[in-house]
Structure 1
């Protein structure tokens, strides 16, 4: 069993830069004074859209897989060249295949020799969410169906949108300036935090910046980008009185940057940086650890899943997150509560402050109705309709 820990995200070494705005898209850069020594990331194109990953002997993960990330460790902290993508001559490569290519990948994270690790960005986190209590009921109470006992939550599916489908995102990523020392960003849609992304080195970020349009985004932030009007800009204003020199102007500008960073970190990013997460180690690469994390599934609050590479001191070298929709939070919350009460419906309902019938109908509404026996579900429906209902 891989180790589990609980804690918050540590973004020590990353500081917030001035935001840039395009319509409903706000990008907040993350800057490093010094790159993370001994680790570099590069992209590996997979040449496909639909990929299949063999998670274990009985479980496969199907998703849109545009690329993988490869983490290289140098050992002595010296720089490693970042690999780019490769262009090929279409004529030399021959005609394209007639159908969609399909490739079976072995594991979401795989060691490729000493000092190198290939992993599928974002999908480590998404598979972690999909596998939440995937085995189904731990105790075979009479309410659970034979399917729940035999198959658990298989198959389990969730919906997401690619960045190319998020209105304004491609234009924002193309037009926005990349700052000196930028190693990541926080992406807001309609001033709702959609995703966080950080890498060890500024050159890594420049190479991987375009991949953000190929990432997956949740239903909620997709709607915000589509429906929200253009956002107001946060403009710094320096009062003229009292500024008598270039040094004074520089100090006033620095104070404005510090005030913006403090406001952003304590207010706008509080839903990401404040809560505790459950971390599970996936792989180790020398002094670095690749983990994925799940939130506490707090109702009507921000909830992010993600993956992270940390150094020996626990500082973040790589980070990628995905914001769950309210429906996805509700599903995670229900599964966590059931597991905490040994999948006993009456005890779970009491802990949630509701009736057993209402809990059964909530499970059906969340997409877990097949876990319950049909006669039990019908009984819950009659109870919900009231006395005399047939």
Structure 2
């Protein structure tokens, strides 16, 4: 049996070229090019037209969101070119009407449909993993927790985001920007903040999915950046005094392009080469579909995402979502609780916090329902005294 593709511990653009960016208002898109396209892995889009999608999960819970489309993965285990298959709707779930709204019910975030075909829900696969972090809550019935926390854990766990259509200038940017011949992806910045990264296996897949970036969801901070922020084009030019021949001009332009690529890669350094924690979702022949989260740092950008990796470690597919400060803070607090066995006093001590202040932080983060009312009231009184 062939070895499985590795689980990622960092993200690298090995084998992918960073091209000069294009700017429209607050939107900067950095094209990503792949010169060596193998063609044995393809992605295609499957559109859904429902107002709401409910996905049943193996642990008997459900994930509910607006899901505009799924992606269909097709592959060949012998390395031969394969055709993309995704437009056929087939029997992908069931459709219901709930008054004026329509609802689609799907089974699993990633579902095998044929021998070499897999349907998965882009970004929602990553978000479901984020929502399920520490979902079961405390394993020990600590007296500080509410009955709901002890019986149901964090259920229900919710987050909200905005559609790409709400980010000012994004629709125009996607419409007017040039798509390069070898382009397989992009880095998107809003007011110079990294919004997302997207990579596909082939240029044909990217052309098909380019406009779907408008249907993705993004953090509310990027929505605000789109309204109030701006983008300053990079100032860079050829030194004419050093150009005497066409060869000199070619060398100068090559240097300029490399400087652009290095700078744009540096702009994405909070995602690229950042430590990540990955989980294998599905093994598709020589490829592995996995989701990940960067190590949580409250003073840096934090991202979740999905990737498909080849056996040799080459990145074939990538889609990321930048967590808002609030989302990162909630995940961080839960991770600290889990690391201390959900003992609240021990967690507060490990974070150099008083118990009262730590409970206050939990309440501000939206987790007040995990703590019983008596403990919350005692914490409030202690804070007032202080």
TM range (shorter): over 0.9
Q: Name the stretch that deviates more: 28-37 or 115-124.
A: 28-37
Gaps of 5+ in 1: 87-95
1:98 is displaced (CA, Å) by: 6.8
SS of 2:114's equivalent in the other structure is coil
Q: Deviations over 1:83-121 (max 9, x none)?
A: 5758xxxxxxxxx99722111100000111111110000
Q: Using a 3 Å threshold, how does the CA distance of structure 1 residues 276 and 250 change in structure 2: closer, same or farther?
A: same
Q: Using a 3 Å threshold, how does the CA distance of structure 1 residues 152 and 276 change in structure 2: closer, same or farther?
A: same
Residue 353 of structure 1 corresponds to: 352
SS of 1:7's equivalent in the other structure is coil
1:188 is displaced (CA, Å) by: 0.3
1:47 is displaced (CA, Å) by: 2.0
Give the TM-score taking structure 1 as reference length.
0.93
Answer yes or no: is the 8 Å Cα contact 2:111–2:120 preserved in 1.
yes
Residue 253 of structure 1 corresponds to: 253
Structure 2 residue 341 is the aligned partner of structure 1 residue 342 = yes
1:49 is displaced (CA, Å) by: 3.1
1:232 is displaced (CA, Å) by: 1.6
1:48 is displaced (CA, Å) by: 1.6
Residue 92 of structure 1 corresponds to: none
Q: Deviations over 1:218-277 (max 9, x none)?
A: 011111111113x22114310111212112101110011111111221x20111113211
Residue from 30, 34, 49 that aligns with 1:28: 30
Q: How does 1:108-127 map to 2 (within 5 A)?
A: 108-127=109-128
Residue from 60, 65, 68 that aligns with 2:67: 65
Give the TM-score taking structure 2 as reference length.
0.93
Answer yes or no: is the 8 Å Cα contact 1:4–1:278 preserved in 2.
no
* Structure-1 separation of matches of 2:300 and 2:218: 17
SS of 1:150's equivalent in the other structure is helix
Answer yes or no: is the 8 Å Cα contact 1:4–1:279 preserved in 2.
no
Residue 215 of structure 1 corresponds to: 216
CA RMSD of superposed structures (Å): 1.9
1:134 is displaced (CA, Å) by: 0.3
* Structure-2 separation of matches of 1:133 and 1:258: 43
Structure 2 residue 15 is the aligned partner of structure 1 residue 13 = yes
Residue 39 of structure 1 corresponds to: 41
Answer yes or no: is the 8 Å Cα contact 2:44–2:87 preserved in 1.
no
SS of 1:44's equivalent in the other structure is strand
1:6 is displaced (CA, Å) by: 6.2
Structure 2 residue 355 is the aligned partner of structure 1 residue 386 = no
* Structure-1 separation of matches of 2:113 and 2:310: 20
* Structure-1 separation of matches of 2:282 and 2:179: 31
1:347 is displaced (CA, Å) by: 1.0
Residue 233 of structure 2 corresponds to: 233
Answer yes or no: is the 8 Å Cα contact 1:10–1:314 preserved in 2.
no
Q: Name the stretch that deviates more: 73-82 or 334-343.
A: 73-82
Q: Name the stretch that deviates more: 318-327 or 134-143.
A: 134-143
Q: How does 1:318-337 map to 2 (within 5 A)?
A: 318-337=317-336
* Structure-2 separation of matches of 1:101 and 1:76: 41
Residue 103 of structure 2 corresponds to: 102
* Structure-2 separation of matches of 1:373 and 1:307: 36
* Structure-2 separation of matches of 1:100 and 1:34: 45
1:15 is displaced (CA, Å) by: 1.4
* Structure-2 separation of matches of 1:140 and 1:5: 35
* Structure-1 separation of matches of 2:272 and 2:140: 36
Count matched residues. 375
Gaps of 5+ in 2: 89-96
Q: How does 1:154-193 map to 2 (within 5 A)?
A: 154-193=155-194
Residue 369 of structure 2 corresponds to: 370
SS of 2:111's equivalent in the other structure is strand
* Structure-1 separation of matches of 2:148 and 2:362: 15
Residue 94 of structure 2 corresponds to: none
Structure 2 residue 133 is the aligned partner of structure 1 residue 132 = yes
1:351 is displaced (CA, Å) by: 1.1
* Structure-1 separation of matches of 2:17 and 2:212: 22
Q: Deviations over 1:324-347 (max 9, x none)?
A: 000001000000000000001111
Answer yes or no: is the 8 Å Cα contact 2:74–2:85 preserved in 1.
no
